[in-house]
Structure 1
Amino acid sequence: MSTRDADDRREYYRIEDTIALEFRPLKQGETADGSGVDSASQLFNLLSELHLMDFESQHLLRHIHERDRTLASYLKVINKRIDLLGQAVAHSLLRDIGPARQVTLSEGGIGFSSDQSIELGTHLAIKIVLMPQALGLLLRAVVIHSQPRDDGQFDIGTEFEALTDAQRQLLARHILQKQAQQRRQARERSSPTP
């Protein structure tokens, strides 16, 4: 099933979310690796790598826990310290990326508004910081639709390209956590208070 089916069926579950987002068009043959020389790009790459390494090492921590609980507990404390450093980096990056904005997010792509139209087929480097865990991801996407709105903005729809398995799973985990949070909030609103 494709995300562009005529009857508008979706391959991935989509959520409405508020995230920090920065995007730029890629030149022909350019990669989205963020290899710019500015310190913000270097910090963003560091944050992104921290989260990917954390995700990729989770199975190792489970194996260590089975063999040596004391060592596993110590490594969890170290991991929490690194997470705190990552959150500090993320908050400093939010100043450079800009204020959080409403997006539609799935494992397959991201939709957002822009003050200018972007040509279909344009490849983008997209930096996102997912909150509240301050998860930074640098992704490559292609524009699949760009439609004008009544307020002068444009609705831009993109499809991610060449996601690693770790990136896809981090997106999926964030989406599942957001879904669970939205369900809890809906239950709290609908349940009568004593």
Structure 2
Amino acid sequence: MPEEPSTGAICDQRDYFRIRDRIGLEIRPLTVDDNSNPDPFSENHLDELRLELRRLDQDIKVHLASLAEKDRLMTTLIKSLNGKLDILARIMTFEQNPLQPQQWQEVTLSEGGIAFTSSSGHVQVGEQLAVRMTLPPEMFRPQAVARVAECTRQEDGQYWIRGEFIRIHDGDRQQIARHVMRWQIRQRQK
């Protein structure tokens, strides 16, 4: 990992909290043609089911809001069951498509971007990458499009790549924010 800038260097501006964590990381370079595809990690045979799941999730949220006014205990129970189903779905998804050991790596992560090492030097500053992360222990799988802001060769031959998220859904950004917050809480408890 590159060293921190010296006093005379340009300051590293931070808009978000950053953490160093070991996550599952899948990277795909994007071409101009890929920019029209909203999901570069698409598994076409499951897209319709995912859309239906999102629709049902929105329905549940609407009904829970009105139910909360009438019966708090029932609302709490339904939220717990919904959370349990979400976890079960993530476990099943991950078991069907597990990440290989080389896809788990140390990264620096924030809501604004990600930095990681790579053995490939084919990445150029300004290039766009599709990024899918698996964030343990919840196994959330946010994804984004990142623009490469820095690509530096290190002494060990690896490349330090820093990308800024230029396209990310609010829900995915919120998952990253929750992951960062939970990571910080766990570190304080140690």
Report the TM-score range of the alignment, normalised by the length of the smaller protein.
0.7 to 0.9
One of 25, 29, 33 as aligned partner of 2:39: 33
Residue 126 of structure 1 corresponds to which residue in structure 2?
131
Letter in 2 for 1:146: C
Residues 80 and 74 (structure 1 numbering): CA distance in 2 closer, same or farther, change over 3 Å?
A: same
Corresponding residue SS for 2:188: helix
| Conserved 8 A contact 1:90-1:129 | no
- Tell me how far 1:98 sits from its aligned partner: 5.0
Residue 147 of structure 2 corresponds to which residue in structure 1?
142
Letter in 2 for 1:132: P
CA distance in 1, matches of 2:182, 2:110: 13
- Tell me how far 1:176 sits from its aligned partner: 0.5
Q: Identity percentage over the alignment?
A: 31
CA distance in 1, matches of 2:67, 2:165: 34
- Tell me how far 1:96 sits from its aligned partner: 5.7
Please list, as runs of the form range in 1=range in 2, the aligned pairs for 1:175-186 lying within 5 A after superposition: 175-185=180-190
- 1:14 aligned onto 2:27: no
Please list, as runs of the form range in 1=range in 2, the aligned pairs for 1:1-194 lying within 5 A after superposition: 6-31=10-35, 32-34=38-40, 36=42, 42=46, 46=50, 61=64, 63-72=66-75, 73-95=77-99, 98-117=102-121, 118-185=123-190
123-132 vs 91-100, which moves further: 91-100
Deviations 1:124-151 (A, max 9, x none): 1111111100101121111000001111
Question: What's the TM-score, normalizing by structure 1?
Answer: 0.76
Residues 8 and 165 (structure 1 numbering): CA distance in 2 closer, same or farther, change over 3 Å?
A: same
Corresponding residue SS for 1:145: strand
| Conserved 8 A contact 1:50-1:86 | no
Task: Count residues with an aligned counterpart.
Answer: 177
Residues 107 and 60 (structure 1 numbering): CA distance in 2 closer, same or farther, change over 3 Å?
A: farther
CA distance in 2, matches of 1:111, 1:88: 28
| Conserved 8 A contact 2:28-2:130 | yes
| Conserved 8 A contact 1:124-1:141 | yes
Where does structure 2 lack aligned partners over 5 or more consecutive residues?
1-8
Residues 161 and 59 (structure 1 numbering): CA distance in 2 closer, same or farther, change over 3 Å?
A: farther
Corresponding residue SS for 1:23: strand
- Tell me how far 1:97 sits from its aligned partner: 8.4
154-163 vs 97-106, which moves further: 97-106
97-106 vs 66-75, which moves further: 66-75
Question: What's the TM-score, normalizing by structure 2?
Answer: 0.77
Residue 190 of structure 1 corresponds to which residue in structure 2?
none
